[in-house]
Amino acid sequence: VNFFEDVKPLLMKNIPNRFLNLLRLLGTYGDDCDIPIYVVGGFVRDLFLGIENFDIDLVVEGNGMEFAKYVAKQLDVKVVEHEKFLTASLFFKDGFRIDVATARTEYYDKPAELPKVDISTIKKDLYRRDFTINAMAIKLNSKEFGMLYDFFGSRKDLEEGIIRVLHKLSFVEDPTRMVRAVRFEQRFDFRIEDETLEILKETLEGGYLERVTGQRIRQELEKILQEKDPVKGIKRLSELNILNRIFPKTYFTVLMEKKLKNMFLVFKRLKNIYSKNNIFYAVLRIFLEFYDVETLKSVMQRYGLPKKFVEELKKMEKRIIPVIEMIKMRIKFSDIYKILGKPVFETAAHILAYLDDEDSKNYFFEYLERVFTVKLNLSGNVLKEKFKIKSSPEIGKIMGEIFCMKLDNPYINEMEKLKEILGGRNG
C-alpha cells in the first residue's frame, strides 16, 4: 500500500492563492528551522470533501513552540504558548488563527483525563486522533510540499463515507469522541462503521462518559447545536443512548422533536431581538422539562448551569402552558404581560417551541417587540412633584398601569390616562 500521494494539484485547485502562499511560506519556515511541518485534521479532510475550511492545524516534528515563535517573528504576528501541551497559537491581525502542535503520542494516566505529552513522530500523532477521516497530514516543507500522508486508509473511508476509530481504546481515551462521532456522521451524512459502533456502545455502557467533566461534554454538545440540522444530531444521540447518559431523564419523543424543530426555526428571528442569546440554554429548557428537583440539581452542578437559569426554569414550569393558551386565544398583551413580563431569551424560545402556526408565532413576536420597545415618557418625578403622590409603591403601580395600557395601544396619551386613573381614585 502506498501511504503517500502528491496532492499539490488538488491544493492548487481548491485553495485560494493567498492561502496557498501562506502554506508554502510556513513550509519554508520549517526548512529554515530544519524541521518537518504538516497541516493536519479538519483542513485536510475538508480539502478532499471540497468544503471550504480555513482552520489551520499544524503539526511539527520537533519543538512546536519554538517553531511558532520563529513564525511569529517572521510574520510579525502574536503568539500564545501553551507550555503544558507543547502547543502554540498564532494570531494574525485580521483575526485569522493558526494552531501549532508538537507531534506527540499522548498517553493517559487515567482515562478521561487531560493527556500528558511526549515527543514523537507524525504517524503516532495521527494515530492518537479521533477518527480516520481526521487523521491525514499534508507536508508543507518545500521539497515535499503537497505530499499527503495517509497511513490508516483515511481517504478510502472518506470516499465511502465512514466514521471509524483508529484503535479500540479511542473512546476510552476520550469519551467525548462518542458525541463527535455523531456530529461528523450527521454533518457529512456518513455512517459510523460497525466495529466502531460496537466499541462506542461498549464504552458507553462502561460508564466512561460519566468520567468526563461536564464542561467538555457541554462543549461538544454546543458544537452539535451549531450544525446545519441539529435536531437530527440530537435524535441520533438519543438513538445511541448517548443523550440519556448526559441527561438521565431526557426522553426524545415525537413531541420533543417537534418542539426542538419549532425552536430552531425561530432562533434567527429571536436573535434580532435578544443580544443575550444562548442556544444551549434554550435547548436545555426542552431537555429539562418535567425534571424532578433532585435530578435537576445534579444536572445543574455537572454542567455548571447558573442558578438564575434553573430558577427561571422552575418559575416558568407552571406558566408556560397558560401563556401559550393566551397567545393562541390572542389575549391582549397587557394580560399576557401580567404573567410573562419581559421574558429572557430561553423563555421566549421555550414558548415558541410550543407554537406551530405562523399567526400565533407572529402574535408572540409582536408581543416581544412591544414589551422591549414601549417606553413611558412619564417619569416618577412628575407624579411626585406635580401630582403630590409620595409613596413609591403607589407611583410604581400607577406607572405599571400606564405601561400596560401602552402595551395594548402604543399611541395613547399618557397624561390623559394618568388623569383618568387619578380621577378614578379620588372620586
Binding site for ligand CTP (CB under 6 A): 41-42, 55, 57, 129-130, 134, 174, 176-177, 180
- Residue number, 174 or 312, with CB nearest to ligand CTP: 174
Owner of C-alpha cell 526548512:
31
Please, what is the angle between helix 177-188 and helix 214-225, to 10°?
10
Q: Considering the complex, what minimum distance in angstroms separates the CB of residue 92 from ligand CTP? A: 18
Give residue 202's Cα distance to chain centre. 27
Q: Considering the complex, what minimum distance in angstroms separates the CB of residue 160 from ligand CTP? A: 18
- Residue number, 180 or 235, with CB nearest to ligand CTP: 180
Would you say 47 and 137 are in contact if contact means Cβ atoms under 8 Å apart? no
- Residue number, 110 or 388, with CB nearest to ligand CTP: 110
Q: How far apart are CA 421 and CA 402, in angstroms?
A: 9
- Residue number, 117 or 273, with CB nearest to ligand CTP: 117
**DSSP summary character for residue 131:** B
Q: Considering the complex, what minimum distance in angstroms separates the CB of residue 349 from ligand CTP? A: 24
Would you say 218 and 179 are in contact if contact means Cβ atoms under 8 Å apart? no
- Residue number, 54 or 372, with CB nearest to ligand CTP: 54
Q: How far apart are CA 183 and CA 232, in angstroms?
A: 10
Q: Considering the complex, what minimum distance in angstroms separates the CB of residue 206 from ligand CTP? A: 18
- Residue number, 165 or 283, with CB nearest to ligand CTP: 165
Contacts of 382-391 with C-beta under 8 Å, sequence gap 24+, read: 383/418, 387/418, 387/422
Q: Considering the complex, what minimum distance in angstroms separates the CB of residue 248 from ligand CTP? A: 23
- Residue number, 220 or 312, with CB nearest to ligand CTP: 220
Q: Considering the complex, what minimum distance in angstroms separates the CB of residue 353 from ligand CTP? A: 26
Sign of CA dihedral 265, 268, 274, 280: positive
Q: Considering the complex, what minimum distance in angstroms separates the CB of residue 212 from ligand CTP? A: 10
Contacts of 274 (CB under 8 A, 6+ apart): 345, 348
Q: How far apart are CA 40 and CA 37, in angstroms?
A: 10
